[in-house]
Amino acid sequence: MKITGVELRRIAMPLVAPFRTSFGTETKRDVLLVRVVTPDAEGWGECVAMSEPLYSSEYVDEAAQVIQRFLLPALPNEVDALGVARALEPIKGHRMAKAAVETAILDAQLKASGESFGRFLGAAVDRVPCGVSVGIMDSIKELLDAVEGYIDEGYVRIKLKIEPGWDVAPVRAVRERFGDDVLLQVDANAAYTLVDARQLARLDEFGLLLIEQPLANDDLVQHAQLAKQLTTPICLDESIESAEHAAAAISLGSCSIINIKPGRVGGYLEARRIHDLCRAHGIAVWCGGMLETGLGRAANVALAALPGFTLPGDTSGSSRYYKTDITAPFELEDGHLNVPQGPGIGVEPVKEILEEVTTSTEWITV
């Protein structure tokens, strides 16, 4: 497939409410979109890097520069999505930027052939159960009101963000208010250390699905030590950047569940490799989210339809984060989202909305 040009588009997407985690608060998303144009089709990829290097070392300004200066020049004249990772391998890191480029190329390739993302990846179902991620609040009352609203909307799983000083009390309050039947898990975003093991063990009494990324992303050994002290299953997020990292974590006993975020691991093809590895070893996986627009959400929903995704993911409806999405909105139906069936990722940006939220564009002739 010959690429004739690439557009890098920055858009500003205000969130419906501030989203607070242990590493910071977001009120809007500065999103980098990659549009790849070929003689037969065009494809879209969404870079999930944040404005600042807080979740990972990547950030949006850097991703745009890396794509223009290094990733695009590294691609061969005739490119196939399956060969993108190999062509970009000499460039170290920058997995979110690489994922955006690979996704755009794969989207264009599948549109040209008329095949959907779900079919290409190996989707086993046509809709996926949806969980929702609830940020750190200013009060327990505010948290309970938010959780009640999401349960009323039909979300089948609730994830609470936690940090030191905001862990046992909010979890207990949610359990007492909504009962043991609610699927509940927590996400620490690496906010704790092994010194906090006894405090984290206090969460065991609440019957959580999992505790996500309690320790630092490079602490596989200490996660294995922590796992022996908890009955709550440990799930890894930031620690897993490739199938090789997943294999190491499984071998060490660092986790029994893995959150697969395609942007974090370098793209949907690597995400599928991790899925296949985990499925072969009996490790449950679920699809994480990075506050994606409808473009990224469409691809995530297709990934979450693979057979190894046995836990509800953070594939929330569009209205969870955005008043107006740049694609037709994803809306919950009985706690599920439908897997797009059209060619490629199966959705297109609405031109008028896209133009309204665009802050800059750059065209690169390849």
Q: Which residues are catalytic?
A: 161, 261
**Could you give the CA distance from residue 243 to residue 41 in angstroms, rounded to a whole number?**
30
- Lookup: tokens for 316: 């929330």
List residues bridging with 25 in a β-sheet.
20
Report whether 278 contacts 285 (CB < 8 A): yes
* E strand residue ranges, 79-230: 127-129, 131-134, 157-161, 183-187, 211-212
**Could you give the CA distance from residue 334 to residue 153 in angstroms, rounded to a whole number?**
9
**CA distances, 282 to each of 41, 146, 237 (Å):** 39, 34, 17
Backbone phi and psi for residue 256, each to the nearest 5 degrees, phi listed first:
-120, 0
250 CB burial (10 A radius; 0-12, 13-18, 19+): buried
**Could you give the CA distance from residue 229 to residue 157 in angstroms, rounded to a whole number?**
25
Report whether 65 contacts 15 (CB < 8 A): no
